[in-house]
Chain A
Amino acid sequence: MLSIKNLKAEIEGKNILNGINLEVKAGEVHAIMGPNGAGKSTLSSVLAGRTEYQVTDGSVSYFGKNLLEMSPEDRAREGVFLAFQYPVEIPGVSTVNFLRTAVNEKRKYLGLEPMEATDFLKMMREKMELVEMDKSLTSRSLNEGFSGGEKKRNEVFQMAMLEPKLTILDETDSGLDIDALRLVSNGVNKLRNKDNAFIVITHYQRLLDYIVPDFVHVLYKGRIVKSGDKELAKELEVKGYDWIKQEVEAAQ
Chain B
Amino acid sequence: MTEEVNIIDKVTQQEYKYGFTTDIEMDTAPKGLSEDIVRFISAKKKEPEWMLEWRLKAYRHWLKLEEPHWQNFSYPKLNYQDIIFYAAPKEKIKLDSLDQVDPELLKTFEKLGISLTEQKRLTGVAVDAVFDSVSIATTFKEQLKEKGVIFCAISEAVHEHPELIKKYLGSVVPYTDNYFAALNAAVFSDGSFVYIPKGVRCPMELSTYFRINAENTGQFERTLIVADDASYVSYLEGCTAPMRDENQLHAAVVELVAHEKSEIKYSTVQNWYPGDKEGKGGIYNFVTKRGSCEGAYSKISWTQVETGSAITWKYPSCILKGDHSVGEFFSVAVTNNYQVADTGTKMIHIGKNSKSRVVSKGISAGHAHNSYRGLVKVNKNAENSRNHTQCDSMLIGNRSGAHTFPYIEINNKSSQVEHEASTSKIGEDQIFYCNQRGIGTEEAIGLIVNGFCKEVLNQLPMEFAVEAQKLLAVSLEGSVG
Within 8 Å of chain B (Cβ to Cβ): is A48?
A: yes
Q: Mark A124-168, 1 if CB is under 8 A from B, else 0.
A: 000000000000000001000000000000000010001000000
Which of A70-78, A227-235, A237-245 binds B? A70-78
Provide the bound-state CA to CA distance between A109 and B430, in Å: 21
Within 8 Å of chain A (Cβ to Cβ): is B97?
A: no
B438 close to A88 (CB less than 8 A)? no
In B423-481, the 8 Å CB interface with A consists of: 427-430, 432-441, 443, 447-448, 450-455
In B1-27, the 8 Å CB interface with A consists of: 1-3, 6
B447 close to A93 (CB less than 8 A)? yes
Provide the bound-state CA to CA distance between A228 and B472, in Å: 53
Contacting residue for B439 out of A49, A102, A141, CB 8 A: A102
A76 close to B450 (CB less than 8 A)? no
A72 close to B436 (CB less than 8 A)? yes
Within 8 Å of chain B (Cβ to Cβ): is A17?
A: no
**What residues of chain A lie closer than 8 Å to B453, measured between beta carbons?**
92
Provide the bound-state CA to CA distance between A76 and B2, in Å: 22
Please judge, given known A-B contacts A52-B2, A52-B3, whether A72 and B432 are in contact too, CB under 8 Å: yes
**What residues of chain A lie closer than 8 Å to B429, measured between beta carbons?**
88
Q: Mark B104-145, 1 if CB is under 8 A from A, else 0.
A: 000000000000000000000000000000000000000000
Within 8 Å of chain B (Cβ to Cβ): is A56?
A: no
B433 close to A84 (CB less than 8 A)? yes
A109 close to B2 (CB less than 8 A)? no
What range describes how many residues of A lie at the interface? 20 to 34
**What residues of chain B lie closer than 8 Å to A97, measured between beta carbons?**
447
Residue of A nearest to B7 (CB): A51
B447 close to A52 (CB less than 8 A)? no
Contacting residue for A51 out of B3, B430, B450, CB 8 A: B3
Contacting residue for A98 out of B2, B427, B435, B447, CB 8 A: B447
B435 close to A73 (CB less than 8 A)? yes
Please judge, given known A-B contacts A52-B1, A90-B448, A93-B448, whether A101 and B432 are in contact too, CB under 8 Å: no
Within 8 Å of chain B (Cβ to Cβ): is A40?
A: no
B438 close to A109 (CB less than 8 A)? yes
Q: How far is the CB of A76 from chain B (nearest CB, A)?
A: 4
Q: How far is the CB of A201 from chain B (nearest CB, A)?
A: 15
Please judge, given known A-B contacts A51-B3, A88-B429, A88-B430, whether A76 and B451 are in contact too, CB under 8 Å: no
Q: Mark A65-95, 1 if CB is under 8 A from B, else 0.
A: 0000001110111000110100110111100
Contacting residue for A162 out of B427, B434, B437, B443, CB 8 A: B437
B447 close to A73 (CB less than 8 A)? no
A158 close to B437 (CB less than 8 A)? yes
Within 8 Å of chain B (Cβ to Cβ): is A223?
A: no
Within 8 Å of chain B (Cβ to Cβ): is A28?
A: no
Please judge, given known A-B contacts A77-B438, A105-B440, A162-B438, whether A90 and B3 are in contact too, CB under 8 Å: no
Residue of A nearest to B438 (CB): A76
Q: How far is the CB of A63 from chain B (nearest CB, A)?
A: 16
**What residues of chain A lie closer than 8 Å to B455, measured between beta carbons?**
92
B440 close to A90 (CB less than 8 A)? no
Contacting residue for B430 out of A77, A90, A141, A158, CB 8 A: A90
**What residues of chain B lie closer than 8 Å to A49, measured between beta carbons?**
435-436
Within 8 Å of chain B (Cβ to Cβ): is A50?
A: yes
Residue of A nearest to B426 (CB): A90
**What residues of chain B lie closer than 8 Å to A76, measured between beta carbons?**
435-438
Provide the bound-state CA to CA distance between A183 and B469, in Å: 37
Q: How far is the CB of A47 from chain B (nearest CB, A)?
A: 10
Within 8 Å of chain B (Cβ to Cβ): is A106?
A: yes
Residue of B nearest to A158 (CB): B437
B447 close to A105 (CB less than 8 A)? no
A73 close to B451 (CB less than 8 A)? no
Please judge, given known A-B contacts A51-B3, A52-B2, A52-B3, whether A90 and B438 are in contact too, CB under 8 Å: no
Residue of B nearest to A144 (CB): B451
Residue of A nearest to B1 (CB): A52
Provide the bound-state CA to CA distance between A51 and B4, in Å: 10
A73 close to B433 (CB less than 8 A)? no
B439 close to A73 (CB less than 8 A)? yes
Q: How far is the CB of A100 from chain B (nearest CB, A)?
A: 11
**What residues of chain B lie closer than 8 Å to A105, measured between beta carbons?**
438-440, 443
Contacting residue for B436 out of A51, A82, A90, CB 8 A: A82
Please judge, given known A-B contacts A88-B433, A90-B430, A105-B439, whether A141 and B3 are in contact too, CB under 8 Å: no
Q: How far is the CB of A50 from chain B (nearest CB, A)?
A: 6
Q: How far is the CB of A139 from chain B (nearest CB, A)?
A: 13
**What residues of chain B lie closer than 8 Å to A99, measured between beta carbons?**
437
Can you list 13 pairs linking A and B with CB atoms under 8 Å apart? A48-B432, A49-B436, A73-B435, A73-B438, A73-B440, A73-B441, A76-B435, A76-B438, A84-B436, A93-B451, A98-B437, A102-B438, A106-B438
Please report B residues at the A interface, Cβ cutoff 8 Å.
1-3, 6, 427-430, 432-441, 443, 447-448, 450-455
4 A-B pairs with the lowest CB-CB distances in the bound complex, closest first: A92-B451, A93-B451, A72-B435, A92-B454
